């Protein structure tokens, strides 16, 4: 009986000792875990800057010096060897250093106490790169992108035709594509750079080429009919699909009332037009009057207006053809002007040399 009591007593002592050891171990584990509450687990970084294995104060200094300080440098965007800068003042850049440290500590203490103690014991790493808590003004970025676009964008240039000297032929000229900044992509790249520590790389502006509305192959379709007027030789030429179809002898404006040179279009077409006489000494007593169609109207048969009162019309004064005789208009023989009138439309191109 006494032997049994001794055995039972020894078992009790052993059990108490074991429980005591477990309690002491548990207390030690909790105490050790509590001691680590201000420590950042190995492998944690912020914006690529390593802060793992350090306490909160040390991590705060590293973040301030290596994450936040570099953000004071401007973001540089480069296009065609030209640099554009937007600095932290305009961006209104701010950084939450305490928030970054707290997030690192929270990430370090994820899981159960046993998970953490096991990690402490094994020296394993968390391996997580946290995003820097950096704020900036999105409106400032957007306005900067719009300024970039205004400076970089170029409109495309349509293919065109150029008459030769004298207007005998039409020379096609190729167009040129435009340039358009990819604004959404630039916004994303600039905002990423604005929050990236130690940014050394220049942001290269990305653009898209914009094609012209009219290419060289489309010129004949874009210019189905073209009139050229050579004042020196008193010749009007009609081109269809860029090929010469007919030429006519004309009269042009006399000295002091020159037919205007340049590029125009046919703006109006009228059969038997009314003449609104210009206020000019050239018109004599008729100046300022309105002359209806008929024998007293020098705008005979047809009218094709091209610019500010100047136009192409028929005349009964056929002796003036081949000379500078009009008040600025282009005169044609009546059969010729009727023929031309039927072959052209409003909007057709007129080159006057």
Which of 8, 9, 313, 327 is flagged as catalytic?
Answer: 313
Does residue 329 carry a catalytic annotation? yes
Sign of CA dihedral 270, 163, 252, 261: positive
- Bridge partners (DSSP) of residue 172 are 161
Query: How close are the terminal C-alpha atoms of the chain, in Å?
Result: 137
Does residue 8 carry a catalytic annotation? no
Distance CA 236, CA 272 (A): 21
Active site residues: 313, 329
């Amino acid at each position: 009986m006494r032997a049994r009591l001794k055995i039972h007593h020894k078992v009790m002592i052993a059990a108490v000792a074991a429980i005591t050891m477990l309690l002491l171990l548990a207390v030690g584990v909790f105490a050790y875990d509590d001691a680590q509450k201000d420590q950042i687990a190995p492998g944690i970084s912020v914006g690529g800057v390593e802060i793992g294995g350090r306490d909160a104060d040390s991590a705060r200094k590293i973040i301030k010096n290596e994450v936040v300080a570099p953000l004071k440098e401007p973001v540089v965007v480069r296009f065609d060897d030209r640099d554009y800068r937007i600095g932290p003042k305009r961006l209104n850049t701010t950084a939450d250093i305490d928030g970054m440290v707290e997030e690192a500590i929270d990430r370090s203490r994820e899981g159960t106490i046993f998970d953490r103690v096991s990690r402490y014991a094994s020296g394993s790493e968390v391996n997580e790169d946290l995003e820097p808590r950096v704020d900036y003004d999105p409106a400032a970025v957007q306005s900067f992108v719009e300024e970039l676009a205004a400076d970089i964008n170029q409109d495309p240039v349509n293919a065109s035709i150029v008459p030769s000297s004298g207007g005998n032929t039409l020379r096609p000229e190729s167009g040129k594509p435009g340039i358009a900044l990819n604004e959404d992509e630039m916004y994303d790249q600039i905002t990423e750079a604005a929050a990236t520590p130690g940014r050394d790389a220049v942001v290269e502006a990305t653009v898209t080429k914009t094609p012209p509305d009219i290419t060289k192959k489309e010129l004949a379709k874009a210019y189905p009919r073209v009139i050229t007027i050579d004042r020196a030789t008193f010749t009007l030429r009609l081109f269809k699909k860029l090929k010469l179809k007919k030429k006519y002898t004309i009269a042009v404006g006399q000295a002091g009332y020159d037919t205007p040179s340049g590029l125009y279009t046919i703006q109006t077409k009228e059969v038997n037009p009314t003449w609104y006489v210009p206020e000019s000494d050239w018109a004599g007593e008729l100046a300022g009057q309105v002359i209806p169609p008929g024998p007293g109207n020098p705008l005979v048969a047809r009218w094709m207006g091209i610019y500010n009162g100047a136009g192409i019309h028929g005349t009964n004064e056929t002796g003036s053809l081949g000379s500078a005789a009009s008040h600025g208009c282009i005169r044609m023989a009546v059969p010729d002007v009727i023929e031309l009138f039927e072959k052209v439309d409003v909007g057709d191109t007129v080159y006057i040399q």
